[in-house]
Amino acid sequence: MNASLLPLLAGLTLLAGVSCGSRSGPPGTQGGGTVIFPPAAGTAVFSAQTGPAGTDVVQAAVTASGRYGLTLPPDPTLPDTAPTLLDLLGPALPGGTLAACQGALTTDPPAARLLVLSGGRYLIGAQVTGTLRPAPQAIGTQQVQVIIRQFVFSDRAATLGSDQTCTFTLAGQTLAGTLRVRPSLRRGWNVLETRLELGPDRLTFDVTDAGTDATVDWLYLPL
C-alpha cells in the first residue's frame, strides 16, 4: 500500500470496527442507532452546520450501553443555500483532512434544500462532557472499506449528482481520489451513506442513499 495512505487509513479505521447497530425501521420521522463509547447514560444533541455556527436540530436520550432512539422534527429550519460537497463529504473525513475537488455538485431540482446532521454534543445531566461525530464502520477483508451514515432532510424529492477527481491532504501527505455522488432523496428525512474504499494508491468516495433499515451511529469524543 502507498505510504501516503497510512495517515488517512489510521484516522478512518482506528475506531471503525466498534461501530454497530441493529435497530430497524424507516429513516422517516423515527431514527436510531448507537453512540460509541459514552461514559454513562446521557443526552445527545445533534446539530447541522447551517452557517458559521451549528444549529441544534434534535436531541435523544442515550442509554449507558450507547443505544438511542429519536423522533426527527417534521419541518426543521433549512439553510438558504443549496448543499455543498463539504456538507456531504466533510463529516466522513478524519479531522484535519483537506479535500480539493474539480467539478460541481448538482441538485435536481436546483431549488431543493437539504439539512445534514453532521455532529453534536453529549451531556450528562447539565454538563457537556464530549462532542459527537459520525462513526465510521469498517467492512471488507480484501480492500478496506469504511461506511459513514448521516441523517439528512430534504424539503422535496431530489437527486444529487457529481463525478469528480479530488486531492486529499492529511499530515503532509497528498493522495489522489475520486468522488461519486448519486443519492435519490425523498421529501422528509433520509439516511445518507458515504462509502470510502482505500485502494493501493487512491481513495474512492461513493455517496448514496442508505436502505430503510439503516442505523446512524455516532462516535463520542471526550472534551
Q: What is the DSSP string of 99-162?
A: EEEES--EEESTT--EEEEEEEEEEETTEEEEEEEEPPEEE-SSSEEEEEEEEEEESS-EEEEE
Confidence check: pLDDT of 185 > 60: yes
Beta strands 218-222 and 30-36: pairing type?
parallel
- CA torsion through residues 99, 102, 108, 109, sign: positive
CA dihedral (187, 29, 206, 112) in degrees, to 10, reads 30
* Confidence class for position 29, pLDDT limits 50, 70, 90: confident
Strand, helix or coil for residue 170: strand
Cis peptide before 109 (omega within 30 of 0): yes
154-165 pLDDT tens trace: 999 999 998 989
pTM reported for the whole predicted model: 0.84
Cell numbers representing residue 167 in the block: 486531492
72-109 pLDDT tens trace: 999 999 988 877 777 777 777 777 788 888 888 899 99
Give the pLDDT confidence score for residue 94 in this predicted structure: 72
| C-alpha separations of 197 from 14, 119, 148, 179 in Å | 15, 23, 12, 11
